[in-house]
């Protein structure tokens, strides 16, 4: 017999609208699962059961009134959606994954939280993240490591590792994440989930702690394409003060609608399998995932070219400089620098040595890369509709396998070798998705990534939905489920 966490987020929302499922019943179910499993999975840093029960009760009252009055409800009304602990929720502890902020309680909501509240979602708590979201694994001093439910010896990735562990382990139906160098797509890949990094400006990063580099954005992680798409509908939209703005969707269009239709006609897709970081080798399992995706795309009638582009270290060097500066920009309380983990201290030290000229040159390199991809690969009418790569160059890493406190430079190099493909779309601002199409013989998930034209998430979502229909993955669940 199916349990509540077997239902998709959209199925849960439908039950709430029809009155066959109570938001409070659903919330209590997830709180029990968190109590049973989270010490193992490391999905949450801070739980908010009292807030969750209060919001669930209010959601039930509103759903009852809406049924009585014949009103429509928002598409995820009453559904639990945890928030990553890099984002502010007024009155709730926000650690940023750092011991230096273990007692930090903000008095303002980030805009994404404002959107989630307006949508009637229920916040179970704040999900686990590495310190300041800097590493691509989730291991810090304030919570247990986030582990992929597919192999508890392995990391759930980062920096949205807690969000992915929660969804993959059945502790939440969908989750809010954020992505500055792959931080939605990396954990989605290693946890067997679907994740969307939206176009720059699609989701507001305000009203405080803006990422002035433009690398980071919030986005959804879900078990299905439709669940992630509808959460993007909730999160998306401009807010006052936003420095960027993605093109608006056509009237009456939604990301969920894109997930419910297939691509219009035959798409032209280019497969790029050579890691863009010099000296990085692609693991055979990751190549097999991309090759399998290419074969499936061709079976579905799409055109796929396989190209080799010259390896250029310019983007890695530029990304490193900007990443170092953004690490330094995090306002650490006076006297708390010693509480930071070795990698954070190292990146902040390097950031202090980046000159203004180097920072400007790096930002120009990002813009040049975006223009080159737009001109050479994604020009409408003559270019490709999407770019296919592996999400990662290696299978899921062991907990502690990437961390190197004794040599942070070597650790950063290891992370670059693990994630050579993902930062490109943070640099350019283009949308990208990780699709869980492949599992290894050891039952480890391996994602493939599609990047698209700026502002055209709907193409990637429709394509992903077609792949999901051809090779369903949501019914494939880890043992902890």
**Cα 193 to Cα 179: distance, rounded to the nearest angstrom:** 15
Q: How far apart are CA 163 and CA 370, in angstroms?
A: 29
Q: Catalytic site residues?
A: 84, 159, 183
Q: Could you tell me which of 388, 425, 468 has the C-alpha nearest to residue 222?
A: 468
Q: How far is CA 394 from the centre of its chain?
A: 18
Q: Where are the beta strands (DSSP E) in 342-428?
A: 386-390
Q: Are 122 and 110 in contact (CB under 8 A)?
A: no
C-alpha distance from residue 135 to each of 81, 140, 317, 342, 404 (Å): 24, 10, 17, 11, 11
The kind and range of the H/E element at 268 are strand 268-272
**What distances in angstroms separate CA 394 from CA 106, 157, 189, 248, one per listed residue?**
37, 12, 10, 36
Distances (CA, A) of 328 to 26, 109, 132: 41, 23, 10
Provide CB contacts within 8 A for 333, sequence distance 6+.
100, 101
> Are 9 and 231 in contact, with CB atoms under 8 Å apart?
yes
Backbone angles phi, psi at 25, to 5 degrees: -60, -45
Cβ atoms < 10 Å from Cβ of 315: 20
Which uninterrupted H or E stretch holds 271? strand 268-272
């Amino acid at each position: 017999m199916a349990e509540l966490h077997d239902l998709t987020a959209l199925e849960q929302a439908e039950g709430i609208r029809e009155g066959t499922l109570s938001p409070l019943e659903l919330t209590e179910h997830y709180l029990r699962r968190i109590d049973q499993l989270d010490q193992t999975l490391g999905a949450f840093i801070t739980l908010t059961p009292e807030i969750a029960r209060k919001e669930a009760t209010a959601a039930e009252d509103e759903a009852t009134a809406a049924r009585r009055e014949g009103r429509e409800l928002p598409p995820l009304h009453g559904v639990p959606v945890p928030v990553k602990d890099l984002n502010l929720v007024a009155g709730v502890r926000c650690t940023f994954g750092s011991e230096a902020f273990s007692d930090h309680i903000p008095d303002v909501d980030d805009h994404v939280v404002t959107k989630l509240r307006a949508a009637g979602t229920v916040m179970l708590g704040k999900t686990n993240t590495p310190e300041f979201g800097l590493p691509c694994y989730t291991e810090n001093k304030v919570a247990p490591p986030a582990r992929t439910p597919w192999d508890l010896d392995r990391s759930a990735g980062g920096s949205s590792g807690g969000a992915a562990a929660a969804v993959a382990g059945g502790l939440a139906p969908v989750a809010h994440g954020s992505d500055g160098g792959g931080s939605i797509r990396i954990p989605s890949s290693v946890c067997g989930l679907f994740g969307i990094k939206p176009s720059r400006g699609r989701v507001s990063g305000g009203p405080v702690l803006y990422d002035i580099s433009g690398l980071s954005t919030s986005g959804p992680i879900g078990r299905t394409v439709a669940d992630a798409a509808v959460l993007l509908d909730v999160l998306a939209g401009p807010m006052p003060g936003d420095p960027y703005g993605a093109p608006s969707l056509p009237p009456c269009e939604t990301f969920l609608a894109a997930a419910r239709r297939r691509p219009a006609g035959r798409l032209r897709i280019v497969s790029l399998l050579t890691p863009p970081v010099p000296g990085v080798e692609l693991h055979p399992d990751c190549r097999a995932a991309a090759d399998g995706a290419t074969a499936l795309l061709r079976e579905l009638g799409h055109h796929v070219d396989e190209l080799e582009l010259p390896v250029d270290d310019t983007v890695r060097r530029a990304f490193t400089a900007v990443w170092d500066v953004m690490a330094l920009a995090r306002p650490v309380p006076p006297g708390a620098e010693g509480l930071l983990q070795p990698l954070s201290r190292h990146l902040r030290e390097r950031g202090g040595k980046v000159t203004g000229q180097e920072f400007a040159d790096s930002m120009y390199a990002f813009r040049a890369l975006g223009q080159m991809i737009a001109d050479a690969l994604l020009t409408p009418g003559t270019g490709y509709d999407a770019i296919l790569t592996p999400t990662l160059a290696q299978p899921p890493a062991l907990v502690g396998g990437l961390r190197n406190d004794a040599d942070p430079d070597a650790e950063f190099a290891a992370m670059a070798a693990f994630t050579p493909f993902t930062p490109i779309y943070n640099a350019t601002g283009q949308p990208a998705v990780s699709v869980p199409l492949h599992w290894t013989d050891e039952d480890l998930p391996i994602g493939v990534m599609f990047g698209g034209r700026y502002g055209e998430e709907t193409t990637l979502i429709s394509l992903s939905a077609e792949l999901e229909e051809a090779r369903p993955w949501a019914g494939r669940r880890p043992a902890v489920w």
